[in-house]
Structure 1
Amino acid sequence: MALRLIKILPPEGFEDLESLIDEDDIIDSWIERSEGSQTVINLLAEVEYTEKILGDLEAKFSGKEDYRIVLLPISATLPTQTQKDEEKNEEEDKDKTTDEEKEDVRVQRISREELYEEIKNNVDFSWVYLVLIALSCVVAANGLIRNSAAMVIGAMVIAPILGPNVGLALATTLGDKTLLKRSLKSIFYGFSLGLSLSIIMGLIIDIDPEVFQISSRTHVSYADIALGLSAGVAGCLSFTRGISAAVIGVMVAVALLPPMVATGLLLGSGMFELAYGAGLLTLTYIICINLAGILTFLLQGIKPHSFTEQREGEELSRWAIFIWVSLLVLLSVIIYFEFL
């Protein structure tokens, strides 16, 4: 059971501090008061309840700006919540009768706010991001040319591809145009740099298209669609569950990095027909990962705050799903006629 500590610095003059504490949603609470300093309210809660708590607090502070809410992860706490306590909470949930009470406040994921900050940090475009993209492409190219699976896997470990793609899916789900632009910027420059470096290496290095690591990425099948969709779902779940995205990032890189590098190597070598197949495989994975990401976020109930933002988010999500599904259908038709 993951825990979070919510520290509340209420607006100046806010006196009804007890109203900020809902005993049903928290494990423990305490208020820190010190002379000449601002009062701090501390709430200890399970991570699944934090989104509801934060939403309730924002509603209570509506129209005020001089407040601060800080969400902190907790590694451990004593005494621990026993199995008996958890079973008691479950029994209390079963006894609820009204429709509002029957609604499960647990979201089975980290809060929307925590998720947004985590993904935003992984979308940031910087020189470090470009260097990692360049290094991963060089290592992947060597692995493809030398037919070394170990080198290809090593390239995937350092490739920062997961963040921008998950960021794009979240941006379209929330209707967040700022995050959308940042994600598209990182994806565009990252893929442009990787493809350009691969083409240059293809121009100066002799490429053997019969090498398995290259030849296996010059055609597309329906199994690749399944892999892309699985990678997209896994990538988003790794963020929403608050677990390490490192291993899942490798899975996404498995799908995207090698075929992209193979496309550049083959283009640089003048093998345009094979490059077409590798490029189509790369495009298939991009479509599948983003489509799966949007659907995963929607199914987990991730949506914007306000009604206006929800309408914009729903509209953008519908358009994004329509575009990705249309492209996926088109690719499926191409796969059927050209590669089966």
Structure 2
Amino acid sequence: MADRLSPLLRRFDLRYDQEDPAVIDAQIRQGVNAVGANLWVLIFAIMVASIGLNVNSTAVIIGAMLISPLMGPIVGIGYGAAINDFPLIRRAAANLGLMAGISLVTAVLYFSVSPLSEARSELLARTSPTLWDVLIAFFGGAAGMVANTRKSVPNVVPGVAIATALMPPLCTAGYGIANGNWEYATGAFYLFAINGVFIALSTLVFVKIAGLPQRVDVDARTARRHRWIIMAVATLMAVPSGVLAWRLVQAERFEAAAGRVLADYRDDPRVVVLATQVDGKAKTLRLAITGDLAPEALRGEIQRKLQAQGQGAARVDVRDASAHAADMKPIEELLRSQQTANRDGQLEEARQRLVMLEAELEPLRARERLERELLAEVRAQFPEAESVSVSAGVGQDGESTPAPVLLVHVIADVALDADASARLQAGWASRAPGTDVRLVVVPTVAPSPEAAPP
């Protein structure tokens, strides 16, 4: 059995295509540096990421991730811990602190002067880290370390930079500080700390797996103390995110259960549900209704149904719009919030449809531009032509598949130059791939004597 598995296991051997340890060591130490160009690139990347978060542009944020040099010192800390190089750890930690400080100051300065102060979805996504962020950081860092030890892995490092996302959390923390929102600032900085710790941890693990040589031999007691410190730091980072992940799962489960319960009343003749509000974090369901069913009776039904789905601790608030006209303000606010959400959804749907229509129209516009260019070129090459026209259609030669055809129709009373015609058609073929452009020349037909007027 072992002999049968050995070829497969050899495929997973990290020593295959591994770079020389001295080269790996030099590359990692070079990435730790925080001087000159690295600091300027860092400042520019922070500005790009801050602008991307400010205008809610995912593409801009991804671009900032790709040019950020923050990964180097974090990898240096994990690598130094794996090879017992404590001077490298201290240098990498100091440079990481310097770069994080510069990033925060840059982000705070930008958000202090930016006229856009609203927290958009891209920014809010960096304020509540969960256990999934821990897993992303660990496996992203692992992929990065494997790439750093290869002779050539061209497509991995950019993906790692995007997945681990070190830059946006620091920008979000800067936004929180600039706007006095310490909840956002602490949540975002916690996400940055999670990414840093678990990228370093995965680097340490894969340096050990790759068997890179240690720089300093330490005694068993010191090695054990280092292991305990690393485990303690990783646990302190992971436990709060695990709690937040559990709360997120519970909130999503409640929202899904509430959605299923509310679906039972869409066609119920006893009641008309005017508005709903579901708060997964607080496990609260609010409804505004009208109809023959009493609010207390509906509340009891909904609570029993939620309890049957494992949501016994839910709070249900039902208001009868027709019986409590004096208390309409909360209902109006609820309706207004739903209308705003629906309008935003409709606007986004319309925007997406507009983008699709633009994409469908672009080939037609391109063909129209090509037809105009063909007319101008034929007129320039053959000034003796009496008339020139371009028509689009579909053609088929023999048993071939029907294909788009552009016919350039020329009426002239003299023979056209064959070489010029050939050059034109060759140029058209390169500019309109997939379309057969044909030049058709028809001589001018002189009127017959019989057809002349008396």
For residues 245 and 127 of structure 1, do their structure 2 counterparts lie closer, same or farther at Cα, with a shift above 3 Å needed? farther
For residues 232 and 322 of structure 1, do their structure 2 counterparts lie closer, same or farther at Cα, with a shift above 3 Å needed? same
Please give the alpha-carbon distance, in whole angstroms, between the structure 2 residues aligned to 1:252 and 1:323. 26
Tell whether the 8 Å contact from 1:303 to 1:310 is kept in structure 2 after alignment.
no
Aligned to 2:210: 300
Q: How many residues align?
A: 238
For residues 319 and 126 of structure 1, do their structure 2 counterparts lie closer, same or farther at Cα, with a shift above 3 Å needed? farther
For residues 106 and 278 of structure 1, do their structure 2 counterparts lie closer, same or farther at Cα, with a shift above 3 Å needed? closer
For residues 274 and 134 of structure 1, do their structure 2 counterparts lie closer, same or farther at Cα, with a shift above 3 Å needed? same
Aligned to 1:264: 174
Q: Does 1:290 align with 2:186?
A: no
Please tell me the residue identity of whatever aligns with 1:297.
V
Please give the alpha-carbon distance, in whole angstroms, between the structure 1 residues aligned to 2:133 and 2:215. 36
Shift of 1:244: 4.8
Please give the alpha-carbon distance, in whole angstroms, between the structure 1 residues aligned to 2:179 and 2:25. 42
Please tell me the residue identity of whatever aligns with 1:274.
Y
Tell whether the 8 Å contact from 2:169 to 2:192 is kept in structure 1 after alignment.
yes
Please give the alpha-carbon distance, in whole angstroms, between the structure 2 residues aligned to 1:246 and 1:204. 37
Shift of 1:311: 5.8
Please give the alpha-carbon distance, in whole angstroms, between the structure 1 residues aligned to 2:84 and 2:222. 4
Shift of 1:275: 2.1
For residues 270 and 338 of structure 1, do their structure 2 counterparts lie closer, same or farther at Cα, with a shift above 3 Å needed? farther
For residues 260 and 204 of structure 1, do their structure 2 counterparts lie closer, same or farther at Cα, with a shift above 3 Å needed? same
1:225-257 Cα shifts (integer Å, max 9, x gaps): 111111110111111123357852552355211
Aligned to 2:190: 280
Please give the alpha-carbon distance, in whole angstroms, between the structure 2 residues aligned to 1:317 and 1:159. 30
Q: Within 5 Å, which residues of 2 pair with 1:310-325?
A: 314-315=223-224, 318-325=227-234
Gaps of 5+ in 1: 1-92, 95-104
Please give the alpha-carbon distance, in whole angstroms, between the structure 1 residues aligned to 2:101 and 2:154. 24
Q: Does 1:227 align with 2:136?
A: yes
1:45-95 Cα shifts (integer Å, max 9, x gaps): xxxxxxxxxxxxxxxxxxxxxxxxxxxxxxxxxxxxxxxxxxxxxxxx99x
Q: TM-score, normalised by structure 1?
A: 0.62
For residues 316 and 255 of structure 1, do their structure 2 counterparts lie closer, same or farther at Cα, with a shift above 3 Å needed? farther
Shift of 1:150: 1.6
1:128-163 Cα shifts (integer Å, max 9, x gaps): 111111000000001110111121111112111222
Aligned to 1:58: none
Please give the alpha-carbon distance, in whole angstroms, between the structure 2 residues aligned to 1:339 and 1:277. 15
Aligned to 2:91: 182
Tell whether the 8 Å contact from 2:79 to 2:200 is kept in structure 1 after alignment.
no
Q: TM-score, normalised by structure 2?
A: 0.48
Gaps of 5+ in 2: 1-5, 8-12, 250-454
Say what the alpha-carbon RMSD is for the aligned residues.
3.0
Aligned to 2:28: 119
Please give the alpha-carbon distance, in whole angstroms, between the structure 1 residues aligned to 2:60 and 2:160. 15
Q: Within 5 Å, which residues of 2 pair with 1:124-135?
A: 124-135=33-44
Q: Within 5 Å, which residues of 2 pair with 1:1-340?
A: 107-108=15-16, 109-244=18-153, 247-249=156-158, 251-252=160-161, 254-304=164-214, 308=217, 314-315=223-224, 318-336=227-245
Please give the alpha-carbon distance, in whole angstroms, between the structure 2 residues aligned to 1:134 and 1:290. 23
The SS at the match of 2:166 is: helix
Please give the alpha-carbon distance, in whole angstroms, between the structure 2 residues aligned to 1:301 and 1:313. 20
Which structure has the higher relative contact order (CA within 8 Å, separation 6+)?
Answer: 1
Please give the alpha-carbon distance, in whole angstroms, between the structure 1 residues aligned to 2:32 and 2:136. 23
